[in-house]
Amino acid sequence: MIAKDNIKISVQHLYKDFGKTNILSDISLDVREGEVVCIIGPSGGGKSTFLRCINKLEEVTKGQIFVDDYEITDKKVDINQARQNIGMVFQQFNLFPHKTVLENVMLAPVDRKLLTKEEAKTRAMELLKRVGIEEKANEYPHSLSGGQQQRVAIARALAMNPDVMLFDEPTSALDPEMVGEVLAVMKELAEQGMTMVIVTHEMGFARDVADRVLLFADGVIAEEGTPKEIFDNPQNKRTQDFLAAVL
Amino acid sequence: MFEIITKFGPTLLEAMGKTLTMAFYSLIFASIIGLFFGVLAVVKSKICNIISQVFVDIIRGVPMIVLAYFVFFGIPYACKNMLGFNLTLSALEAGIICLSLNCGAYMAEIIRGGIQAVPKGQMEAARSLGLPYLTSMRQIILPQAIRTMIPSIINQFIITLKDTSILSIIGFPELVNSAKGVVALTFKSFQVWAIVGIMYLIIITILSKLAKVLERRLSYDRKR
Ligand SMILES: Nc1ncnc2c1ncn2[C@@H]1O[C@H](COP(=O)(O)OP(=O)(O)O)[C@@H](O)[C@H]1O
Ligand SMILES: [Mg+2]
């Protein structure tokens, strides 16, 4: 079975246990093409685990996940092929420290033979320009600020030309003055029609950019709605408590 | 002393060459063995992990000298009497097998530790770009692991170079064996063993210095 035409990510009755501990239970979610979904919620609520299930960094316990034509939860899925279509950006950037910025961005498309070296270089420079750090192309990651590193990480993910992008608290490890530059890149990406699922603690960003906001708590989607509904008129007690604590 | 050097210098140098040859091949094979079992120790498969652990435990638990006798005498004996074909191993071949297995086991441990010291996020970042496991290992994890492993690897290489002397017992004419011959001819054990000691010392000092240079070269804050 294949996800419906304009549905990019479809999660159906997802359960995830770590050992005997249940972390996620009965999560279902459809993300349409071009939609931006922000996930908020208290720490330990299962947000990262959920995101990691989508590109199979975690094996699910039960349920189905589709991304485009790939059933991620199918044992026989070509996971490397499927992952090329799913960009992921981590809280800790995870740039490759032994490669230059340019090499970080070029590596996967060349290795997977999507592009020749020359093409990949041109494309990488374009992407670096788009995230505003083309002048750092030949530097090593450790000489960049956190904000710059995270922008490189976004460029690296985009280099594979993914249809969807997953962000796991992309600004949580940044000094406050660098949060804005990363959010700006993400906002631009959203405006260009990228399908995005973003775990974030930046409520202003979620309100501004998200089409839909989900509140994860204790492994379930406690509430979901438009930013207006969630932030201005939360119905669920857990949403109210969470927002009271962070706003 | 000088008399010994002028008279037996060439012999000892030739023997040193044999020592280095044996060490060189052993280190190459040991690196392959170590890499293989080191990676086997970290892949997500219980069976692979156990195979690696058993190999390392066996080699570490058997003295080299026993391993040497086993390979040089035991294996050809078994081939002839139990399997019915002749296998002759030269002392050099047997020596290389022993040293490769021995050094390989320790290398496996070093490599396992080095791989596990690379932050988990590196493998996850590589995999989420769609890179296969082994590609990620080769392109992302191992190059980083190697950097932290270099001092231990060089140390292991030095130990293996010194361990070549144990192979004198199976009759390979490496440095220690040849030196014995020179002592038998000249009776000057003090001078001969002093010279041999200094020869080892020079080679190993050069290796250590090389290691320092390599280590500095490979650190991130220097452009290549
Ligand atoms: N690899 C793991 N093994 C066991 N428990 C885990 C693992 N990863 C996460 N958890 C647990 O799962 C729960 C949800 O974690 P996580 O998804 O990181 O939450 P969030 O991202 O919302 O803070 C936490 O209680 C955490 O301790
Ligand atoms: Mg998290």
pLDDT at A242: 95
Mean pLDDT of A13-17: 97
pLDDT at A5: 67
Residue B71: how many CB atoms within 10 A of its CB? 19
pLDDT at A1: 45
pTM, entire model: 0.86
> In this complex, is the C-beta atom of A7 within 8 Å of any C-beta atom belonging to chain B?
no
Angle at CA A4, nearest 5°, toward A16 and A2?
65
Contact B58, B156 (CB under 8 A): no
**Ligand 1 contact, A59 CB (< 6 A):** no
**pLDDT tens digits, one per residue of A72-130:** 999 999 999 999 999 999 999 999 999 999 999 999 999 999 999 999 999 999 999 99
Residue B10: exposure state from Cβ atoms within 10 A (0-12, 13-18, ≥19): exposed
pLDDT at A183: 97
* Chain B residue numbers touching A88 (CB-CB < 8 A): 125, 128
DSSP A27: E
- Residue B164: CB partners within 8 Å, gap ≥ 6? B19, B22, B23, B26, B95, B99, B174, B175
Nearest to B132 among A80, A97, A153 (CB): A80
The strand pairing partners of A217, in sequence order, are: A220
The strand pairing partners of A39, in sequence order, are: A199, A214
- Residue A149: CB partners within 8 Å, gap ≥ 6? A93, A95, A141
> Which amino acid is it at A33?
E
Q: What is the pLDDT along chain B (224 residues), one digit of tens a residue?
A: 788 888 888 888 888 998 999 999 999 999 999 999 999 999 999 999 999 999 999 999 999 999 999 999 999 999 988 888 888 889 999 999 999 999 999 999 999 999 999 999 999 999 999 999 999 999 999 999 988 888 898 889 999 999 999 888 888 888 898 888 888 888 889 988 999 999 999 999 998 888 888 878 777 654 44
- Residue B70: CB partners within 8 Å, gap ≥ 6? B62
- Residue A175: CB partners within 8 Å, gap ≥ 6? A145, A146, A147
Phi-psi region of A63 (alpha: psi -120 to 50; beta: other; left: phi over 0): left
pLDDT at B150: 86
**Ligand 1 contact, A49 CB (< 6 A):** yes
Contact A16, A23 (CB under 8 A): yes
ipTM here: 0.94
* A vs B: CB pairs below 8 A: 64
Contact B123, A90 (CB under 8 A): no
> In this complex, is the C-beta atom of A20 within 8 Å of any C-beta atom belonging to chain B?
no
Best probe residue, ligand 1, of A14, A18, A201, A221 (max atoms within 8 Å of C-beta): A18
- Name which of B120, B127, B128 to mutate to probe chain A: the one with the most chain A Cβ atoms within 10 A of its Cβ: B128
